[in-house]
Amino acid sequence: MRSSKKRQILTGTTVLLVLLCTITISSAASGDIITDISSNYELIPEEGMVKVSKEITFNNNNPDTKYWRGFYSSYNSYLPDGALNIEVFDDENSMAFSKSAEGYYVFYFNNKVWYEESYTFQVVYEIEVNQNTAVFSLNEYGDNVEVTLEVPDDFETQLSRDDYRVEDKLYSSVYIFEKGQNWEKACTVNSVRASPRLTLKDTAHLTERDVDIEVRYWEGEEQWAQDIMRTSIESLELLEEKWGFAYPPEYNITITQANLTETGGYGGYNQGRNGIWLLYTSNHGILVHELSHYWTRACNFDQLWMDEGYADLYTYIVLSEMEPDAAESRRDRFLQKYEDLHDEHDFPLSDWNTPQTLNSDNEEHVDYGYKKAFSLTYTLYETIGVEALQQANIEFVESTNINNADFLEIIESASSADTDFVGEYLYN
């Protein structure tokens, strides 16, 4: 969400007040200026670009500029990081612009905008995307904003907002946000074109055997595939070390780049022998989480909270070695989310289950379950330490169908620390 400081920067364009030959710079008060913006985003995969065009009408209603006392000469706005080929122009000429040290752009008018006058100009730029995947944001900073997004009809598109309508053209779909809607939050666009997948192969040399890894990816996503392969090999080696026992399955690993439909709305989905389906926007944390499930399944857990809580715990432990800052940020975000959602969504972890498909109706409740399970396992890790966890892990592997009572018994045998809090998470 944008801060109030950013909003002040965006609405506070320069006013020149001429008084006794002295020039004074001031900012417009709220409501003194109104901006009407019409934004169009068009995904053109063949060029690897999203082409953006904005028509901005700046209306000067500032009473301090009455009677020729002053005028506006520029407009400030943010453009996305990485915006390319920026052009600014009005009906007759191109306009000068510059980027400030604070990161926003200053667009300089070709005319003075006096009281009750308006000025209309265009801003166009491009956002670079991949051939078959496009992830970008619709960021709007105006008072009356209308937005259209056009994507080819062979792309599957997901938006982080649902207050739009869709018009289907012959070869494309147009997503329309009507004028006047709230743009305090940006809208994230995830658009993907499923195409025949290519395969990258490598081998992880683990404790007891070599594990072959195949990464299946869409054309144009070679960099994604290489990153996933590199991260997987490093993660598997660390997972063996941290869990305290070797990679359990007898089969190799396939990781498939997938869209939201294929993952059921989740960031990833481990199907065991059939491999991992990983959402193309997922980060390393989700990849390590899915790899961790090869170990959670070997522990014979019969409770969902054990399976997911331990997967997230060992994601944190492994990321602490690979990407310490990311691990700390992920941990803090999870624990804060647990606190934020507690009052509205709390339930005993022993009752937790998840739907086959994630949607806007169940997403927050499901998310709370993940965060509560992590809070439990992380607190356990902090209480008894990694060595006691490894001792308990071996007992899990050697047992069958670990239920809540079995879990408590094994944890108590692995450590003399007070673990009464576990029961509070499970039954309250």
Q: Which range has the worst mean pLDDT, 18-27, 42-51, 323-332?
A: 18-27
Please provide the DSSP assignment of 203-250 as one string. EEE-SSSEEEEEEEEETT-HHHHHHHHHHHHHHHHHHHHHHTS----S
19: pLDDT confidence band, cut at 50, 70 and 90? very low
Amino acid at 172: S
Q: Residues of the chain with pLDDT > 90: what percent?
A: 82
Give me the residue spans of the domains in the chain.
4-192, 197-427
The pLDDT of residue 2? 36
The CATH classification number of 4-192 equals 2.60.40
Say whether pLDDT at 21 is over 70: no
**201-217 mean pLDDT:** 98
Say whether pLDDT at 258 is over 70: yes
CB distance 23 to 16 below 8 Å: yes
Residues in the chain: 428
pLDDT digits (tens, 9 = 90+) for 38-81: 999 999 999 999 999 999 999 999 998 888 888 999 999 999 98
Q: What is the CA radius of gyration of the chain?
A: 27
E strand or H helix that includes residue 331: helix 324-345
The pLDDT of residue 270? 96
CB distance 81 to 110 below 8 Å: no
Tokens matching residue 312: 């997230």
Q: Which carries the bigger pLDDT value, residue 358 or residue 195?
A: 195
pLDDT digits (tens, 9 = 90+) for 92-133: 999 999 999 999 999 999 999 999 999 999 999 999 998 899
Q: Which CATH class is domain 197-427?
A: mainly alpha
Angstrom distance (rounded) from CA 79 to CA 36: 17
pLDDT digits (tens, 9 = 90+) for 350-396: 999 998 887 878 889 999 999 999 999 999 999 999 999 999 999 99
Say whether pLDDT at 261 is over 90: no
pLDDT digits (tens, 9 = 90+) for 292-314: 999 999 999 999 999 999 999 99
E strand or H helix that includes residue 106: strand 105-113
| Average pLDDT value for the chain | 91
Say whether pLDDT at 140 is over 80: yes
